[in-house]
């Protein structure tokens, strides 16, 4: 018998589409509608148990051996409670409820807790501390925006339904003709698939976005550029873009890793926020980061309201201490400070740079995940988890900080618990060990 679930929230990326339809037959996902290619794969893969972690494992004599959940939890608690400076990392692909338990665990352990924003929009957060933040929810873009800029972001690949759900194609209240009422501009170092859709594509030289932003600010503020080109972009193009930005009714600047990961990092974003602030003296303009994982925002929200800081929090003094560059995961790892790691719903062995991975391999790793990954392949304890948004309910925050409740459409595989439950057991055991 086929059951159709509607209004399902996709738990892949920060676009957090909540119009997904999932057909379930005999307890397995049979069909998915409205999701993009990646979201569809995520739902369908859930029911392919042969590709998932199904049993807890502990490494013995160099090989991972299946054990009971109790044993795995015990070993995990021993490793973490016995560590002097454990690092708890990941978090962005699980629910707020799980993140909340993780934060308490970090506090009890006196460890460092960090999430994937440390390698994604951490620099954006740092810029916000300095420059503030001028933004809105995505419906404001849908209903009002007539100028849409993607800078250093490639939604056609990273957020496939972004243009159709929010920014270009929807017929908004004040933009009834959809994309005909809007102009798309892309700024990037290469002509991406998103750039090919743009009315204007600006190719900036790699690593020189900061200069281009400064040039735009100068023109927006009524100055003349002293050179014919900046960062590989002609003066004419810069002046044209500045004019487009000043004369629109509602402009939005979406930005991604092109700004956060290239030289300048948070200073690029700081400058971009200042540009948007300058624009607000002429017209209505907002800025929004293209957040990657579906609940990377949720982690920062929960950590901020519980502990005051958005990521990279060190609890070794008993209270929250935050200092990016000092307490961020890659820095803690590369200084060789931590002696154990808990990785939840993340794969740093794949996603961290080489020097960090080399350090990771020197310490015991406890991994809680859904699929085997390079991180689980080298971990010392591996505990399978149910998938939030498919097998477990929970809360997630969209890239514009709109919170939605993830649904459960199928049961998890036999014996596989949610992240929340696994973490609660580890936390309980750690509290007992620590006394």
Partner 1 sequence: MRFTLITGRTVAQGDAMEKGKTEEEFMKACAIVELDPEDMEKLGVREGDTVRVKTSEGELVLWVRKAPGEQPGVAFIPLGPWANYLIGGDTEATGMPPYKVVDAEITPERGKVPSLEELLRLYTREEVR
Partner 2 sequence: MKLVLKNGYVYDPANGVNGEKMDIFIENGKIVEEVSGAKEIDCSGMLVMPGGVEIHSHIAGGKVNTARLMRPEDHLRNVAPRTSVTRSVCGYSTPSTFLTGYAYSKMGYTTAFTAALPPLMARHTHEELHDIPMLDKGALTVMGNNWLIMHYLSEGRIEHACAYAAWLLRATRGYAIKAVNPGGSEAWGWGRDVRSLDDRVPHFDITPREIIRGLMEINERLSLPHSVHLHPNNLGRVGNFTTTLETLELTRDVKPSRERQVLQLTHAQFHSYGGDSWRNFSSEAESIAKAVNSSDRLVLDMGQVVFGDTTTMTADGPMEYYLSSLTGLKWANKDIELETAPGVTPFVYSEKSPVSGVQWAIGLELALLVESPEKVMLTTDHPNGAPFFTYPKIIAWLMSAKSREEVLERLHRAAQKNTVLGSIDREYGWSEICWVTRTAQARSLGLESKGHLGVGADADVAVYRINPESTDPAREYEAVERAFSATALTVKGGEVVVRDGEVVKVVSGKTLYVDAGVGEELEREVLKDVDYYFKRFYTVNLANYPVQEVYLTSPEAVKVDSGVR
**SS3 for 118?**
helix
Residue 101 or 257 having the CB closest to partner 1:
257
Q: How far is the CB of 81 from partner 1 (least distance, A)?
A: 26
Q: Which of 207, 308, 336, 415 binds partner 1 (CB under 8 A)?
A: 207
Residue 223, C-beta contacts closer than 8 angstroms, at least 6 positions apart: none
Q: How far is the CB of 46 from partner 1 (least distance, A)?
A: 9
Containing 20, the helix (H) or strand (E) segment is: strand 20-25
Q: Tokens 């459409």 label which residue? A: 409
Cβ density class 111-144: b for 16+ within 10 Å, e for less: bbbbbbbbbbbbbbbbbbeebebbbbebebbbeb
Q: How far is the CB of 143 from partner 2 (least distance, A)?
A: 6
- The tokens describing 399, both together, are 């890239």
- For residue 315, the partner it binds in partner 1, partner 2, none, with Cβ less than 5 to 8 A by kind, is partner 2
Q: Which residues bind partner 2 (CB under 8 A)?
A: 6-7, 9, 18-19, 96, 100, 104, 107-108, 125, 128-140, 142-144, 165-166, 171-174, 249-250, 277, 280, 283-284, 286, 300-302, 304-310, 315, 317-320, 322, 393, 395, 397, 401-405
Residue 130 or 243 having the CB closest to partner 1:
130
Q: Which of 191, 223, 405, 434 binds partner 1 (CB under 8 A)?
A: 191
Contact (Cβ atoms closer than 8 angstroms) between residue 329 and residue 89:
yes
Residue 328 or 424 having the CB closest to partner 1:
328
Residue 11, C-beta contacts closer than 8 angstroms, at least 6 positions apart: 42, 93, 294, 295, 387, 388, 389, 390, 396, 406
Terminal C-alpha separation, the chain = 51
Site membership for partner 1, residue 143 (CB under 8 A): no
Q: Which of 132, 308, 336, 355 binds partner 1 (CB under 8 A)?
A: 355
Q: Tokens 């003709």 label which residue? A: 177
Q: Which of 30, 54, 357, 401 binds partner 1 (CB under 8 A)?
A: 357
On the 0-12 / 13-18 / 19+ scale of CB atoms within 10 A, 339 is middle
Residue 89 or 285 having the CB closest to partner 2:
285
Residue 192 or 424 having the CB closest to partner 1:
192
- For residue 241, the partner it binds in partner 1, partner 2, none, with Cβ less than 5 to 8 A by kind, is none
Cβ density class 239-276: b for 16+ within 10 Å, e for less: eebbebbbebebbbbbbbbbbbebebbbbbbbbbbbbb
Total residue count of the chain as it appears in this document: 435
Residue 189 or 402 having the CB closest to partner 2:
402
Q: Can you list the alpha helix ranges (DSSP code H) found in 145-208?
A: 155-158, 162
Per the rule left: phi > 0, alpha: psi between -120 and 50, beta: everything else, 7 is: left
Q: How far is the CB of 107 from partner 2 (least distance, A)?
A: 6
Using CB under 8 A, list all residues that contact partner 1.
12-13, 36-38, 41-42, 45, 51, 62-64, 118-119, 122-123, 126, 154, 156-158, 160, 189-193, 195-196, 203, 206-207, 257-258, 260-263, 265-266, 292, 312, 324-326, 328-331, 334, 347, 349-358, 361, 371-374, 377-378
């Amino acid at each position: 018998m086929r059951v159709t679930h509607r209004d399902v929230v996709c738990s892949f990326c920060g676009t957090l589409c909540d119009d997904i339809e999932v057909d379930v037959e005999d307890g397995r996902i049979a069909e998915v509608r409205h999701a993009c290619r990646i979201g569809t794969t995520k739902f369908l893969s859930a029911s392919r148990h042969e590709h998932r972690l199904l049993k807890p494992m502990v490494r013995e004599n160099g090989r991972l051996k299946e054990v009971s959940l109790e044993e795995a939890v015990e070993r995990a608690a021993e490793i973490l409670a016995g560590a002097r400076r454990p690092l708890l990392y990941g978090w962005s692909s699980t629910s707020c409820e799980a993140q909340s338990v993780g934060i308490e665990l970090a506090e009890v352990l006196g460890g460092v807790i960090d999430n994937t924003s440390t390698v994604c929009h951490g620099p954006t957060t740092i810029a916000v501390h300095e420059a503030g933040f001028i933004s809105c929810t995505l419906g404001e873009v849908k209903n009002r925006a007539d100028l849409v800029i993607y800078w250093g972001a490639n939604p056609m690949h990273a957020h496939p339904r972004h243009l159709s759900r929010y920014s270009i194609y929807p017929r908004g209240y004040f933009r009834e003709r959809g994309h005909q009422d809007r102009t798309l501009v892309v700024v990037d170092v290469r002509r991406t698939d998103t750039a090919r859709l743009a009315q204007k594509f600006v190719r900036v030289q790699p690593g020189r976005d900061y200069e281009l932003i400064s040039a735009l600010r100068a023109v927006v503020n009524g100055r003349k550029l002293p050179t014919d080109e900046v960062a590989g972009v002609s003066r004419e193009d810069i002046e044209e873009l500045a004019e487009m930005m000043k004369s629109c009714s509602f402009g939005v600047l979406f930005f991604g890793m092109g700004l956060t990961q290239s030289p300048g990092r948070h200073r690029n974003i700081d400058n971009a926020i200042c540009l948007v602030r300058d624009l607000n003296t002429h017209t209505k303009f907002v800025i929004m980061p293209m957040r990657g994982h579906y609940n990377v925002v949720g982690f920062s929200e929960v950590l901020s309201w519980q502990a005051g800081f958005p990521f990279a929090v060190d609890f070794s003094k008993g209270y929250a201490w935050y200092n990016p560059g000092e307490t961020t995961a890659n820095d803690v790892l590369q200084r060789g400070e931590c002696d154990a790691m808990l990785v939840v719903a993340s794969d740093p062995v794949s996603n961290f740079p080489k020097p960090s991975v080399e350090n990771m391999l020197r310490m015991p790793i406890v991994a809680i995940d859904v699929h085997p990954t390079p991180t689980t392949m080298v971990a010392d304890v591996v505990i399978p988890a149910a998938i939030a948004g498919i097998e477990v309910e929970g809360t997630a925050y969209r890239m514009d900080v709109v919170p939605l409740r993830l649904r459960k459409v199928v049961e998890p595989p036999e014996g596989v618990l949610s992240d929340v439950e696994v973490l609660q057991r580890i936390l309980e055991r750690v509290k007992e060990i620590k006394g």
